[in-house]
Amino acid sequence: MRSPRLTLAHPAAGNEGKAFIGAAPLRARMKLGITDYVDCAHHLTDHKKCGFPHGHTYRIDVTLDSQQRGDMIVDFAEFKERVRAVLAKYDHRDWNSTLKVPTVENICELLHGELRKSFTYPITVRVWEGVDKWAEL
């Protein structure tokens, strides 16, 4: 027997046969997440403390929200690969070359917009600037 293929297609998009392992019934809603990191520089013009170029290690949490069917929502390897493809464009770069005002809120909005193109499931993106400051969309 051939094993079924697993992709990141959402059942609402009419891709029931591609999104799930087998034809198992729907189960509880579940969130599935990964964490990755990027190191970036930035500065906030005219800001008292952050007006000078400096850097952060940004922790990026990405969460998929899905109705579970079968034993697996998504293959973690594929999930990580899609997230890393987006984050790689910014790692060891200066946010000011991409955003006029690179606050954690604007960084989160940028990453959410790009990452949601990679998934058909609803996603949440949380961007941590340091260990105790974050924005989520």
Its sign, for the CA torsion 87, 92, 98, 104, is positive
Instruction: Choose, from 16, 42, 129, 136, the residue flagged as catalytic.
Output: 129
Annotated active-site residue in 16, 40, 50, 105: 50
Q: Find where tokens 């493809």 sit.
A: 85
Give the sign of the dihedral formed by CA 43, CA 107, CA 85, CA 32: positive
Q: Which of 16, 43, 92, 108 is catalytic?
A: 92
Closest CA to 129 of 4, 2, 42: 42
Beta strand 134-136 with 26-42 is unpaired
Q: Is 50 a catalytic residue?
A: yes
Residue 78: active-site member: no
**Distant-in-sequence, close-in-space partners of 19: CB < 8 Å, separation ≥ 6:** 6, 7, 8, 9, 10, 11, 69
Is residue 92 part of the annotated active site? The answer reads yes
Catalytic residues: 50, 92, 129
